[in-house]
Structure 1
């Protein structure tokens, strides 16, 4: 008997509202999914003909494992050789740690801002200037401003107005404040890049990966220009010239994010080439974003890589970029799953509409 059988997709998520109800702060939960995001993802996947099985927070995941339903879990997916969307566990862990990511990028010749890392074990009373002196970028880091942030957070969590550092005493105080707020986590110190900032969305894996499009985070409120005009950056612009926890997550619509196009600008061409090279160098899969910021001389540098980007319709940069380039949320989710299926040739016969023997 021949039957058509849709692919079953377990959807793993952790709900913002659930963890808020458990007493966690909004900052603690900022990276978690809003209910409307979860609903939209489920709806878009089902519109593509997939059967979706939502799996909630870690407690529900543990219950699934206890019942022998290991096919519903991502930390165990690779151990059980279960096909999954997004990059493998090693890549996800690497990209989560911005300091270690920068080490790999540096080794592979991908430009990233000069940096030093304050280890979680660094004695709080010890002079940070000693650590800067030990860095291979000691000379670069002598020149202010610098920028500090937790090494392993996203959604601008741990980035505050004091993150931009103008002198060594502010650096000591800022690192101490971050260490108190994020105990057990290393702190990243970087040379502050004074140029424009971009985020490039990428779809696919390896040689088949392609750029969907790029957003320019224009703090001055003007479209990016070529030459010296492109390099002008006002420190008094919205948010101090960078995304912090508050201005990224609490005042949508007030920033000057705008789409830019490679055919219109050699600057954007360079940004997108760098983003794609970074994506391939780190062997990321399926879909994600690369955040890039230019130095005062206009040269682009990688800030970080997000291999599990937000998918909230009309909010997340990836979803906005895709929509601007003609991809609805349903089309985007379908394309992501198609990219994953290409990595699992044994699943080709299970694509929607393909007959299977039962």
Structure 2
């Protein structure tokens, strides 16, 4: 057992927002009780004294009352609902303003990772492969520039379009893969109407296999704990888009039950794509500045090379369901061990907390 640290566990509860009338698509970032209870139990199993904090409003209230002064650490998984590309950064921003140590990346990194267009710009700067792309700014007219984006991505059709700030396949449907200029203009118009104020990412369609690399650690100590193949072809119970992109559960009007994605954990021993995908994923993770744990989604081009799709800096952590937790379990890392390792990674940044943790362990 590790420390007796007082840890504020900050989350957004799915059922709370559902009871307020939000639709399934709006509910995507929020965590179901299985996740919340599992994380709380895992932290307690490591000796943490857990303070449950539901959402940013309760966090603000507790900070205003000075209750945060007893906290040693925060474990924030709340992703927010308002604020565009800054949603996931809001809670960490408050924690940093009040000098509360926390797990996961800082506010600036989370804002960057939330914006797929800006992330790809950073990856390009570092020479990390990502599909050629262009961004249709929110300020443009509904079809302004859309017909010319194919020139910027350096490719002929098909192209792929999606909103820049969304997660969990929000904004992706049967019309996301566009085959000509007319479909591109209409698709951009549709996304800008559906997600007002948000830019649209247009990128070369990658026709190869898709992988999700799960990562543990920060900077030079970060390592890939495993890689999962997103096996759309085997997803017989789901609708599939051109054998490549699926229709997410929210688009089918279904709650997040069953499984996260149709993943199959693969190893470098059996799959030659794994090692190159993990190498690229780790480069992206370090370049953007992500910390502790998360996922980097990779897709192969028709040239067989891996390209970064996006970075998940606050990953899903539902026990035995989320891609990262299932990948960890495949490699013998159970849920409690995973969450303990995430906290240990964070404590590397806070020597005073590590000392307190080690002292408590010696006393026990």
Q: Match of 2:165?
A: 152
| Alpha-carbon spacing, 1:342–1:60, altered in 2? closer, same or farther (3 Å) | same
| Alpha-carbon spacing, 1:125–1:258, altered in 2? closer, same or farther (3 Å) | closer
CA distance in 2 between partners of 1:195 and 1:251 (Å): 28
Q: Match of 1:317?
A: 323
Q: Match of 1:33?
A: 31
Q: Match of 1:331?
A: 337
In the TM superposition, what whole-angstrom CA distance separates every residue of 1:95-133 from its partner, at most 9, and x where no partner exists? 000000000000100000011101110111535114444
Contact residue 263 and residue 269 of structure 1 kept, 8 A: no
Q: Match of 1:82?
A: 100
Q: Match of 1:229?
A: none
Q: Match of 2:175?
A: 162
Matched, 1:172 2:175: no
Taking structure 1 as the reference length, what is the TM-score of the superposition?
Answer: 0.88
Q: Bigger CA drift: 286-295 or 250-259?
A: 250-259
Structure 1 residue 5: Cα displacement:
6.8
Taking structure 2 as the reference length, what is the TM-score of the superposition?
Answer: 0.86
- List gaps (5 residues or longer) in structure 1: 223-236
Q: Which of 243, 246, 270 pairs up with 1:243? A: 246
Matched, 1:122 2:120: no
Pairs within 5 Å for 1:89-100: 89-100=107-118
CA distance in 1 between partners of 2:261 and 2:114 (Å): 25
**What secondary structure sits across from 1:28 in the alignment?**
helix
Contact residue 25 and residue 250 of structure 2 kept, 8 A: no
Contact residue 86 and residue 308 of structure 1 kept, 8 A: yes
Pairs within 5 Å for 1:1-358: 6-70=4-68, 74-133=92-151, 135=152, 137=153, 139-140=154-155, 143-221=156-234, 238-240=240-242, 241-246=244-249, 252=258, 256-351=262-357, 354=360
Structure 1 residue 343: Cα displacement:
1.3
Structure of higher RCO (CA pairs closer than 8 Å, 6+ residues apart): 1
Structure 1 residue 144: Cα displacement:
1.1
Contact residue 41 and residue 333 of structure 1 kept, 8 A: yes
Larger CA Rg, structure 1 vs 2: 1
RMSD in angstroms over aligned alpha carbons? Answer: 2.4
Q: Give the aligned length.
A: 336
**What secondary structure sits across from 2:175 in the alignment?**
helix
Q: Bigger CA drift: 251-260 or 287-296?
A: 251-260
Q: Bigger CA drift: 343-352 or 38-47?
A: 343-352
- List gaps (5 residues or longer) in structure 2: 75-90
Q: Bigger CA drift: 289-298 or 161-170?
A: 161-170
